[in-house]
């Protein structure tokens, strides 16, 4: 189904649906988010949402120290740093500072499709190399790859239970987009424990997330290295409609104003872990963000920064509490390592 790039997105999607019939949730979400991220920097208090690296420098610093420690225990191989969906580049900038104190100064590779965010990343990490996907990453060094709030932005498919399971599609009524039940799908593709779910139940999958995870894990298996993925999510399989839209720090209807809201879905870490394992990766977790950051020493880092600038002590503690309490259990972390690499810190 083709989407005319010369039209405003809502019109182009409506025209495509009129021509070819209802489209999958994945296609709607993919087109909406591609437009959304390509046309703005959504991060920060003035934008639509705030992420952990934008809350506190400690987040990126602790992840940098996590990487340097693993690299050190893996006997310091030549290494490249990769971030997927780096937003403003803040996490990598903070991590690079922390890694340098531990003697690690890797070249930086960003996987980012938004030109607006690429420009923001360039101001913080001028020497990075940009990629559209994992296929062009260096293939002759180990990789440490980090993805914070990246997988939640990738398109999901939804199945809905009626008499049997159906693919959920997006229809268009005049100017209104709305979800409907499409053609039935074979029962076999629904995990057997969930097949008998009540009418109205929704099951989500993210084929794009599986593909990205496999591609990175395959490289780790061949090249060495590790990946850290942090997102809000759950250990599946589970039922539920987690497709959500956020605009100006408030929830919106995900089918309204496509391309003008941030569309996300909760990440199924069990499926991501299986994808990594199927490509030869060794999986750690998932663990709660609170346990990861606690294990990496966020409390001593908060105290050290507060001692260095006492006027900021209250603000530092408030930031620490946002990462540990507000986000601490909703957000989870999954690590993947190359076979025979050491246990990553925070996942013991």
Sites of contact with ligand SAH (CB under 6 A): 33, 37, 43, 51, 53-54, 85-87, 91, 111-114, 117, 148-150, 153-154
DSSP secondary structure letter of residue 281:
P
Q: Which is nearer to ligand SAH, 190 or 296 (CB)?
A: 296
d(C-alpha 158, C-alpha 43), whole Å? 27
Shortest Å distance, C-beta 87 to ligand SAH: 3
Q: Which is nearer to ligand SAH, 106 or 224 (CB)?
A: 106
Shortest Å distance, C-beta 307 to ligand SAH: 27
Q: Which is nearer to ligand SAH, 149 or 241 (CB)?
A: 149
Residue with tokens 């946002």: 322
Shortest Å distance, C-beta 189 to ligand SAH: 24
Kindly report the CA angle at 346 between 341 and 348, in degrees rounded to 5?
65
- How many Cβ atoms sit within 10 Å of the Cβ of residue 129? 13
Q: Is 122 exposed, middle or buried (0-12, 13-18, 19+ CB in 10 A)?
A: middle
Residue with tokens 């062009």: 136
Q: Which is nearer to ligand SAH, 56 or 114 (CB)?
A: 114
Q: Which is nearer to ligand SAH, 212 or 217 (CB)?
A: 212
DSSP secondary structure letter of residue 177:
E
Residue with tokens 């208090």: 45
Shortest Å distance, C-beta 4 to ligand SAH: 20
Nearest residue to ligand SAH, scored by beta-carbon proximity = 85
Report residue 234 as tokens.
């759950």
Phi-psi bin for 311: left (phi > 0), alpha (psi -120 to 50), beta? alpha
Shortest Å distance, C-beta 206 to ligand SAH: 11
Q: Which is nearer to ligand SAH, 116 or 141 (CB)?
A: 116
Shortest Å distance, C-beta 226 to ligand SAH: 17
Shortest Å distance, C-beta 51 to ligand SAH: 3
DSSP secondary structure letter of residue 49:
B
* Dihedral of alpha carbons 324, 234, 63, 153, sign: negative
Report residue 35 as tokens.
């437009």
Shortest Å distance, C-beta 53 to ligand SAH: 5
Shortest Å distance, C-beta 224 to ligand SAH: 24
Nearest-Å Rg of the Cα atoms of the chain is 21
Read out DSSP for 166-199?
EEEEEEEETTEEEEEEEEE--GGGS-GGGTTPPT
Distances (CA, A) of 224 to 142, 250, 341: 5, 41, 8
d(C-alpha 69, C-alpha 65), whole Å? 6
Q: Which is nearer to ligand SAH, 161 or 214 (CB)?
A: 214
Q: Please choose, from the candidates 259, 265, 264, the residue with its C-alpha nearest in 3D space to the C-alpha of residue 39.
A: 259
Strand order across the 244-247 sheet = 250-252, 244-247, 262-264
Q: Which is nearer to ligand SAH, 131 or 195 (CB)?
A: 131
Kindly give the pairing relationship between strand 165-173 and strand 23-24. antiparallel
Q: Are residues 320 and 302 in contact, defined by beta-carbon separation less than 8 angstroms?
A: yes
């Amino acid at each position: 189904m083709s989407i005319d790039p010369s039209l405003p997105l809502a019109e182009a999607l409506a025209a495509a649906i009129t021509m070819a019939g209802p489209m999958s949730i994945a296609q709607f979400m993919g087109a909406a988010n591609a437009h959304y991220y390509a046309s703005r920097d959504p991060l920060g208090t003035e934008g639509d949402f705030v992420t952990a690296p934008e809350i506190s420098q400690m987040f990126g610093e602790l992840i940098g120290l996590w990487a340097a420690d693993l690299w050190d225990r893996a006997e310091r191989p030549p290494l490249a740093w990769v971030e997927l969906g780096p937003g403003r580049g803040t996490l990598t900038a903070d991590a690079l500072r922390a890694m340098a104190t531990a003697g690690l100064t890797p070249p930086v590779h960003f996987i980012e499709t938004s030109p607006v965010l690429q420009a923001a990343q360039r101001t913080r990490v001028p020497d990075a190399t940009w990629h559209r996907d994992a296929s062009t990453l260096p293939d002759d060094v180990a990789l440490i790859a980090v993805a914070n709030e990246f997988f939640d932005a990738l398109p999901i498919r939804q199945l809905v239970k009626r008499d049997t399971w159906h693919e959920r599609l997006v229809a268009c009524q005049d100017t209104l987009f709305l979800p409907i039940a499409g053609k039935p799908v074979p029962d076999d593709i629904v995990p057997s424990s969930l097949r008998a779910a009540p009418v109205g139940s929704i099951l989500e999958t993210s084929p794009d997330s599986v593909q990205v995870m496999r591609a990175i894990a395959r490289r780790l298996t061949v090249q060495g290295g590790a990946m850290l993925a942090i997102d809000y999510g759950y250990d599946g399989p589970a039922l539920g409609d987690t497709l959500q839209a956020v605009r100006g720090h408030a929830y919106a209807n995900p089918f309204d104003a496509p391309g003008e809201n941030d569309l996300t879905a909760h990440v199924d870490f069990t499926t991501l872990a299986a994808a990594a394992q199927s490509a030869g990766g060794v999986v750690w977790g998932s663990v709660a963000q609170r346990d990861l950051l606690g294990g990496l020493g966020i409390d001593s880092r908060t105290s050290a920064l507060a001692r260095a600038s006492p006027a900021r002590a209250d603000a530092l503690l408030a930031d620490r509490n946002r990462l540990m309490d507000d986000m601490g259990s909703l957000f989870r972390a999954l690590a993947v390592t190359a076979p025979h690499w050491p246990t990553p810190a925070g996942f013991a």
